[in-house]
Amino acid sequence: MKITVLGCGALGQLWLSALHRQGHEVQGWLRSAQPSMTVHITAPDGERHRHSFPANDPQWLANSELLLVTLKAAQISSAVLQIQPLLPPHCTIVLMHNGMGVIDELPPLPQTVLRAITTHSAWRHQGRVIHVAHGVTHLGPVACDENPLSPLADLLHEALPEVAWHNDILPACWNKLAINCVINPLSIKYDCPNGELLQYSGEITTLCEEIAAVMNREGLHADARQLQQSVTHVMQNSAANYSSMLQDIRTGRRTEIDYITGYLLRKAVGYGIPVPANRELYQRVKTKESADGHPKI
């Protein structure tokens, strides 16, 4: 398959490399256009891969059957709208990002748009991408789809397992949102790796209760205790990792707080549900962002 990956951070490079090794024709699309790019990956088992890829080729884009978008939430809508007119109508656009609300920023497009969330964890270190831990990528349309299983899920699964298809991706997005609403801003409040947050269980309970109340109004049948179990599980499994939001703050980049806790707050206001603990964390992150100066995107 001919593929363009828009957004070549750690996750984008991971997919570029995995799809290439599976025999697909892949190019990267970078904000500052360049004709090629080189990717170095260190896999969780220590195996290393190095490949060079074409980049920013408009002809390649015009023939792409898949546009995989791995940008940060705040960058997606403007970047997609800029290149979307160059895409063929049969190209599928996959938006893979943390948080929710990006899809609401896009007008209806002729291409099929799918949402994806992933628990693969990777970061960049000295020009390399370290694939820290394998995870699961959840993929599907934002509204219930008649089409039961997308072959795209199989294709992506062969390249970088596990990939799970959902006829309605919203419950999976909300579960991931809940985890990010707790871990990401708390990691900024306490300036620590995910595992150290386990000691704040009282605060986590309150956050989960508020999030579950909003999720229930969204028709998702959330249970605060189950949410807390999922959050605890992720904290244990990623104990040594720093959340993406803390990494953003530390490197002076804009965080995804408006698409994570910000999205929850907008929903809570709409339903008239008070969420003071989540609001306090949101304000704390926003203050931290502006204290660090005008954030880089």
Closest CA to 136 of 98, 94, 164, 115: 164
Catalytic residue list contains 189? no
Among 238, 255, 261, 278, binds ligand KPL (CB under 6 A): 238
Q: What would the two tokens of residue 205 be? A: 């309970």
Q: Is residue 131 within 8 Å of 41, Cβ to Cβ?
A: yes
Q: Closer to ligand KPL by CB, 148 or 240: give it.
A: 240
Closest CA to 244 of 111, 126, 71: 71
Burial class (CB in 10 A: 0-12, 13-18, 19+), 276: exposed
In whole angstroms, the minimum distance from the beta carbon of 172 to ligand KPL comes to 13
Q: Closer to ligand KPL by CB, 92 or 184: give it.
A: 184
User: Which parts of 10-39 interact with ligand KPL (CB under 6 A)?
Assistant: none
Q: Residue 243 interacts with ligand KPL (CB under 6 A)?
A: yes
User: Which parts of 164-183 interact with ligand KPL (CB under 6 A)?
Assistant: 179-180, 183
197/199 Cα distance (integer angstroms)? 5
Contacts with ligand KPL, 187-206, as mask; x by CB under 6 A: -------x------------
Catalytic residue among 176, 189, 288, 296: 176
254/296 Cα distance (integer angstroms)? 6
In whole angstroms, the minimum distance from the beta carbon of 183 to ligand KPL comes to 4
User: Which parts of 255-284 interact with ligand KPL (CB under 6 A)?
Assistant: none
Among 75, 241, 261, 278, binds ligand KPL (CB under 6 A): 241
133/47 Cα distance (integer angstroms)? 13
Bridge partners for 6 per DSSP: 29, 69
User: Which parts of 28-87 interact with ligand KPL (CB under 6 A)?
Assistant: none
Residue 296 CA neighbour count, 13 Å, CB half? 7
Catalytic residues, which ones? Answer: 176
Residues that bind ligand KPL (CB under 6 A): 98, 179-180, 183-184, 194, 234, 238, 241, 243-244
